[in-house]
Amino acid sequence: MKTWCSLAFLWLAYFGHGTLSCPALCKCYHRSAEVVCNEVPLTEFPSEGLPENTTLLTIQFTNITSISEHHLSATPLLQGLHLYSNKLRNLSSNLLRGVPRLNTLDLTENQLVHLPPDVFSHAPLLSLVLKNNMISKADAEWLPDNSNLTWLDLSGNRLTEVPSALLRKLPHLENLDLSYNRLEKIPANSLDPLTKLERLNLKENKLGSLDASVFRNTRNLTYLFLPQNRLEKLPQSLFQGLAQLSVLGLEDNLLSHIPSGLLDQVSSLDEAGLDLTTNPWLCDGKVEYLWRWLQKNKKHAFLAESIICAKPQSLAGRPVVSLTESELNLQS
């Protein structure tokens, strides 16, 4: 009898405090303290019924349009919040005040345009993903000074610039993804605070040029992606100091030549780590440096045979690496 009473007491305590509660339309995995609301007709954040001990919350493919500090206060132990592909338009200021342990926030593919000041303050975020929204302006006021972020993804938005004031708040950043935006330039000193940066993705923007010193302080860069921009020329010392660079993407730009010595600065390239394809290479005497580099380093070039001459007409369609000294009018 005593055993039965003890079990009954434990049962009441367990259920009475709502430990096994779960919002309608969601699934709760109590052992792992995880809640998933996936492809359900939610229109409001499901605060009601969320277990207080939830540490990982995923809400995706719903019709939720806003989220506030009040909503998140229902899960004070939250560490990971994934809000992929909802209809979020609004985030409240001081959004993270009630989740002091949150380290991962993913807001991919919503309808966010403007974000208020302090929206990502008050929590020790390490990873912030704002991919595929409609953000046209990044604001330093989003984040606290000396942010803990190591991963920031702003790809697939409408940014024309990234303010230096925002980057100064990111001394621990290791990954920065700005691909698929509308960036026209990277100010000369703007990346200087990012001394721990290892991966930078600038794919598919509108960059027409790069300052010679833009990467001078990012000496830990290992992956640098610059394809599908409008780059016509590269400064001779652009990659100086990038001794750890293993992957460099320069494909699908407007490069006709590269300056002598440019690729000698990136001696740590992986096999097939350099992509120079889909550029309008002018195969005259000025292509000699690229031609000689390819002769010695062909294994480091991705699809080396696809680095093709666009001009002159007599050499159009020929792989640069296949040319002869006589065709380039070079002296032996």
pLDDT in tens, 77-97: 999 999 999 999 999 999 999
Q: Domain range for residue 283?
A: 174-332
List the CATH number of the domain containing 185.
3.80.10.10
Query: With 0-12 CB in 10 A as exposed, 13-18 as middle and 19+ as buried, what is 61?
Result: middle
Number of structural domains in the chain: 1
pLDDT of 309 reads: 97
Mean pLDDT, rounded, of the chain: 93
In 3-state terms, what secondary structure has residue 56?
strand
Joined tokens for residue 13: 């305590």
Tell me which residue has tokens 């062909």: 298
Question: For residue 79, is it within any domain?
Answer: no
Q: Which has the closest alpha carbon to 212: 166, 176, 262, 148?
A: 262
Instruction: Tell me the β-bridge partners of 223.
Output: 199, 247
Question: For residue 29, is it within any domain?
Answer: no
State pLDDT tens for residues 119-168: 999 999 999 999 999 999 999 999 999 999 999 999 999 999 999 999 99
Q: How many residues does the chain have?
A: 332
Question: For residue 2, is it within any domain?
Answer: no
The rounded distance, in Å, linking the Cα atoms of 290 and 3 is 83
Q: Residue 279 carries which DSSP code?
A: S
**Cα–Cα distances in angstroms (integers) from residue 201 to residues 51, 174, 176, in the given order:** 38, 12, 6
Q: Are 239 and 215 in contact (CB under 8 A)?
A: yes
Question: For residue 138, is it within any domain?
Answer: no
pLDDT of 322 reads: 95
- Using left for φ > 0, alpha for ψ between -120 and 50, and beta otherwise, residue 78 falls in beta
This prediction's pTM: 0.91
Joined tokens for residue 60: 């995706």
> pLDDT band for position 330 (50/70/90)?
low
Lowest mean pLDDT segment, chosen from 10-14, 17-21, 284-288:
10-14
> pLDDT band for position 17 (50/70/90)?
very low
Question: For residue 109, is it within any domain?
Answer: no
Question: For residue 62, is it within any domain?
Answer: no
Mean pLDDT score, 212-239:
97
Q: At residue 10, does pLDDT exceed 70?
A: no
pLDDT of 21 reads: 86
Question: For residue 117, is it within any domain?
Answer: no
Q: At residue 225, does pLDDT exceed 80?
A: yes
Question: For residue 47, is it within any domain?
Answer: no
Mean pLDDT score, 298-316:
96
